[in-house]
Amino acid sequence: MALSLTAVAATGCGSSNNSSSDTASAKTTAAAASTTASTQAAAPSADVLGTPDKATGKPITLGLLNLESGPVTFPEYRQAAQLAVKYINEYEGGIGGRPVKLVTCATDGQPATSGRCANQIADDHPTAILGGADTGAPGAFPVWERKHLAYMGGIPFTPVESNAPNAVQFYSVSVGDNAAMVQYATEKLGVKKASVIYTDDSQGKATGLGVIVPAFKAAGSEVKAIPVAPSAADLSSAAAAAISSSPDAVYVNTPNACPAVLKALKAVGYSGKLMGIDPCTSPQALKAAGSSAEGLYFAQPFESLDSGTPGANLMMAAINKYGGSDIALDSIAQAGFSSVMNVQAALNGVSDLNEKNILAAFKDGKSHDNFLAHPYTCDGKQLAGNTAVCNAYQLIKQIKGGKVTTVDGQWVTGAALYKPKS
C-alpha cells in the first residue's frame, strides 16, 4: 500500500465506546481493495464459524485509534475488527475465557489528534493497544510508551509503528509490498528496465524513491523515475516520459491519480507490463480506469476473500452473521479482522497480560500462524530498518477482466532488495 494525504485541520477525538463510532458512515476511500462486491455473494455458511464458546467475566479492554475523519478515511478497519471481536467472544472464548472490549477513538491523520486520542483511550485503562489504520500514529506512541502498553497489529503506515520496541506488526505495507512486487517483476517477469511514475509529495517520494526505485537497482535493473505533481491535471507528458526509454514495465505509484495515469499510458500507446500499488486496484479505481488497468500486477499481504481458504471463509461467514454487508472488503478490512485473530491466538494462554508478557508471546523468535497471511516471526530480522515488522511476504495479484485475481498463490518477499539508508 502507499498513501498520499493532504493536510487537514486537527479535530477532536471521536466518542470512545464499544459500538460503532459517530464516524462509522464516513466516506471510505479506496486505500487498498482486495475483493469486489461479488465476494459477499459467494460467502460460506455459518457452519464455518465452528462451535460456540462464549467468553464470560470481566472484559479485557483493547484501545484502538483509527483514521475516520478527513479526505482519506479507513472506517472498514474498525468495522472489521469489531466483527472479529464479536466472533472471538462468542466462538473462541475471547482471550483466556474473558470477553474482549474495543474502546475506540476516531482520528484525522494528524499526530496531534492521535496524541489526544491516545490520552483519551489511556483514561479507560486498556490492557493493550490494537493497532489501527492511522497515519497520525506517531503522535500516540509517546502515550503508549509512558503507559507501558503493547501495540499489536494494525497498518504500519509510518516508520514509528514499524520500529517501536513495544510494537509487533504482522505484515509490511509501503515497503514489503512494493519490494515483493519488484522481486517478482525482475525474477519471474524478466523486467530489466523499468519506469516508475510517483506522486511528487513526501509519501510518494518515500515509497517511489525510497523503496521502488532502489529495489529495482538492487535487482540489477535499469530504472527511470518520473515525478507527477499531486495536483497535475494533464498526465500525458508523464506517460510519454515513462515510455520514452522503452521499458519492460511501468510501475505506477500515484494513489489518487492511478486511473488517470493508467489511461494516459494507454493513450500514448503503451502496451507493456504494468505494475502498481494496492490503491490502484480498488473498485472505484478500477471502474475509473476501465480497460487501462487490465493486466496490472500488484502485491498484497492477504489471501483474497474469494480464495476459499479457511481464513477467508471464516471472515466471510462472520461478516454474514454479524451484519457486515456494508463494510468495504479491502485489505484494510482484512487487516482489522486478521489483527484481532492473531492477538487472540497469541494471548489466549497468557495469564498475566502486562506489556512484558504480551510482547514475549509474540517476540519468541518462533513462527506463528498469521490469519489470512504468511506466517510471522517476530525476531526483528524480517525486514531491514523495520524491527517491529514480523513478516514481509506478499501474494502477487493481477487485474484480469476488471477483477482482482491471485497470480500463482506463492508467497514472495523482496526483503533482500530493501536496504534503507542509515
**CB-based burial of residue 248 (10 Å sphere; 0-12 exposed, 13-18 middle, 19+ buried)?**
middle
CA gap 223, 178 in Å, rounded: 15
Is the whole-model pTM more than 0.85?
Answer: yes
- 342-393 pLDDT per residue, tens: 999 999 999 999 999 999 999 999 999 999 999 999 999 999 999 999 999 9
DSSP conformation class of 140: T
290: left (phi over 0), alpha (psi -120 to 50) or beta: left
Domains and CATH numbers, the chain: 38-172+304-391 (3.40.50.2300), 176-300+397-417 (3.40.50.2300)
N-terminal to C-terminal alpha carbon distance within the chain: 23
CA gap 3, 11 in Å, rounded: 21
Are 384 and 415 in contact by the 8 Å Cβ rule? The answer is yes
What is the Cα gyration radius of the chain?
A: 20
Task: Output the tens digit of pLDDT for each of the chain's 422 residues.
Answer: 544 443 332 333 333 333 333 333 333 333 333 343 334 444 566 689 999 999 999 999 999 999 999 888 999 999 999 999 999 999 999 999 999 999 999 999 999 999 999 999 999 999 999 999 999 999 999 999 999 999 999 999 999 999 999 999 999 998 999 999 999 999 999 999 999 999 999 889 999 999 999 999 999 999 999 999 998 989 999 999 999 999 999 999 998 899 999 999 999 999 999 999 988 988 889 999 999 999 999 999 999 999 999 999 999 999 999 988 889 888 999 999 999 999 999 999 999 999 999 999 999 999 999 999 999 999 999 999 999 999 999 999 999 999 999 999 999 999 999 999 86
